[in-house]
Every structure is written in C-alpha cells, then in structure tokens.
Structure 1
C-alpha cells in the first residue's frame, strides 16, 4: 500500500483544519515519492499509534522544528539547508507537495528533514510535551467564511496544544496574507496565557523565512503579509 492509499483509508476527523488534496503529479514527483518515501516519509496514523520519537526518526538528538502545511516544500528545504543544527519535520496533505519536498531533500542532500502525511494536529498529539524548538504555520487555509472559522488551525484549543509541545522559550511563528485572519491570529495568540508576543504586535518580516511564489503572488495582488512570533513561557531577550 502506498502512503497515499493508506492516508485515504483513514477515518476522517469530525472537524478538519485542511482540505484533503491529491492533485496531479509530474513524472519526477511520482518517481521521488516512490523512491524516497521509505527513507524520509511517515504516515501520521502510524506515528500516532506508537508515539513519535524524534531522536529515532532523525537518528540524532537535535532541536526540532515542526512545519505545519509545508506546501511544495521550498520554504522547508531552504530553511533546513540554512539551519543544519536543527531538524525539520514537515507535515502536509497535498501529495504533489510531499513528493516535491522529497525530491528537494535528495537534490540538496538534506539530512535534517522528514515529511509526514496527514493531520498536523494528530501528529502534534503524538509528540512528547516540550519536544519542539519551534512551530511554523505559514499561510494556512484562512477558511474565510464565518461558518468555517471553526476549521482554522489557529484557534485557542489548537494553540494550547501547540504550546504544550514547545520547550520553554520555544517559538510559534505564523504568517498569513489574509488580513482578517491575521487579526484573529493575533488576538488568539496574545490571549494564550503561556505565550508572549515577541514584538508586541505584528513582527517585521524575518529574514530567515524565504519568500515563496505564493507570497509573491499575494503581494502582487495587494495582500500584505503579516508575521506573528510568540515565545513560550517567558519574554524574549
């Protein structure tokens, strides 16, 4: 059974924070998925069944960054390449994006990236408390209709879960091009009792977050980008 088949066979959550997405893959992406998934991929249901041991997954003990919704993987690959002392665990549901990131891992010789397929919140639940150095949530689905706001990943119960997996002093970094969601994110993150806003408002665009094609299109369309960086448990230095 392929990773895609196994993921499709899992029972859906009652409220999902994502659209299940398959999409067409190029021949290169298909080949990368078949060849590299056994080396760098994991299914979220499997991780949840046994609990996830980051040291066993990466073959070393290093600070761990969780990338929720890694898209086509360009940002994850670039950040991991520039940050070899930390490990990056990307979680995505878009099969072509998973395949593309696997291909980038091979092309760039990255040893500090693994790719998970499935529900990010289930993956987070399988991680030990305090095991994450950082969580990145870049350009999540804004679910713009009011009746769908309950599906947004940045809401109080989800943020509390993410915070519980951060180490003291770890960071939760979010970015969005949707103005209304940016305000809602700020209110939610500022309202969490265990997080401190590193910039007392929206953050200046961090140099370490690469500019993606998606972000460029948003800027061309006149949608400004908002970054939010919050620190667990203490005010930043």
Structure 2
C-alpha cells in the first residue's frame, strides 16, 4: 500500500492501518447471509459524510470502533432503537458475525463501515457524534509497536472534533499499560476531561454492560481486571 492510499491526518501525513483483515473463511450459510445482507448495511465514503444522512430520524448517533463479534453493538442497538449506530470493523469474521446478528434480530438502526475507522473520522463534520466506543482494541504490547495503537494524539484530536460538547468517548481494556497510555494521552488533550468518581470505579463495567468476546477471552486467560473509562468532551 502506497502513501497516497493510506488514511491521512489533517496535516496530510499518511497514517498506516495495522491489523488483520481476514481469517477463516465463512462457511456456506454464513457466506450466503453475508452476501445477501451486507450490501444494505455497508456504506462507502466518497468524501465528507454527514451521519444524519444514514439515520435521518435518529435522536443520537454513536460509533463503535472495532466491534469484533458485535456483542456490545447489537445489544445497545436493540435497547435504543431511536439511536443510530455506526459499527467500524475490518476483520471479515467479525463483520460476518455482525451481519448475521443484525439479520437474525432485525436490527434496523445499524450501518457498517468496513475500512479503517480513521478514514471515517476525518470525513465526519464537527460535533456530529454523541458518543464513540473503543472497546478492547489491540494493545500492541511490544514497545516498538506502540505507534500502532489506535489511541494517539492524532486520533484523539479527531475524536474531539467530531464528538459534540457534552458527548463521551468510552474506552475499555484489560491491559493496564494501555489504560495508562490512554490516560497519559487524554490529559494532554484539553478538549477531553476525565472525572473517575470514587477510587476504583474505573474497574466497574458500564451500566448495562454486555461483555465482548475479547473480554471473555481475557477472563479465560486469567486477566480478571479491566478498565472502563468514559471521557467527557468539554
């Protein structure tokens, strides 16, 4: 992939995407649902995008970046039918699971973006989102790979631009180093604030929390503590 194909920062510098896009092939039934349903759910970018054009009657617009198998996204969409949800995921297996769930549960308030979420962020208008979720992103644990983490000054700047004043950026991880990394970046971004409440409250799941498959995997592997942050757009 050449620089001109990479998502750009607002200064025009290329930002590389890191991560898998495919895994095991979908089996016949999954592939059939995928092929029949995805075209009606997916949207492509051809320039600036007002998310209200996807959900003209929605009371709120929420984006989930890297929804994995879609467990959290599906539950939230079912609970809040008047909210429009944009799910961003590049991994074919996760997209396939999400498409199946949407079809099975007849969810009509989800649209899918199947490319790097940063490409979407830079095309959204200012203050066009109410909330953004980033749940259990790849921690890229090796020091030399930290530059690949989604949380960075560049992405936080874009998130601050597209989330309205009073909106929220939610971040969850089971990796303490990534939690500390995120807090260190947030304190340098003046448009976000963090008020944790009582000590240790950041270990308590969000209200109505639906555990993702990545959280379930962490528990099986013995990582029993997670961090659930919500940052206020000032």
TM range (shorter): 0.7 to 0.9
Is the contact made by 1:137 and 1:173 (CA closer than 8 Å) also made in structure 2? yes
Moved more, 127-136 or 21-30: 21-30
TM-score of the two chains, using structure 2 as the length reference: 0.87
Tell me the CA shift for residue 18 of structure 1: 3.1
Partner of 1:217: 217
Q: Which has the higher helix share?
A: 1
What root-mean-square deviation, in Å, do the aligned CA atoms of Structure 1 and Structure 2 show? 1.8
Structure 1 residues 125 and 59: CA distance shift in structure 2, 3 A: same
1:98-177 aligned at under 5 Å gives the runs: 98-177=95-174
Is the contact made by 1:32 and 1:100 (CA closer than 8 Å) also made in structure 2? no
Partner of 2:36: 35
Partner of 1:227: 228
Partner of 2:60: 63
Is the contact made by 1:15 and 1:151 (CA closer than 8 Å) also made in structure 2? no
Partner of 1:77: 74
Tell me the CA shift for residue 27 of structure 1: 2.1
Structure 1 residues 207 and 17: CA distance shift in structure 2, 3 A: farther
Partner of 1:26: 27
Partner of 1:207: 207
Tell me the CA shift for residue 208 of structure 1: 2.6
CA distance in 1, matches of 2:208, 2:152: 25
CA distance in 1, matches of 2:170, 2:151: 11
Tell me the CA shift for residue 20 of structure 1: 3.4
Tell me the CA shift for residue 198 of structure 1: 3.3
Partner of 2:86: 89
TM-score of the two chains, using structure 1 as the length reference: 0.86
CA distance in 1, matches of 2:54, 2:168: 22
CA distance in 2, matches of 1:68, 1:137: 5
Is the contact made by 2:43 and 2:113 (CA closer than 8 Å) also made in structure 1? yes
3-state SS of paired residue (1:18): coil
Q: Structure 1 runs of 4+ off > 3 angstroms?
A: 10-15
Structure 1 unaligned spans of 5+: 1-9
3-state SS of paired residue (1:216): helix
Tell me the CA shift for residue 12 of structure 1: 4.4
Tell me the CA shift for residue 178 of structure 1: 1.2
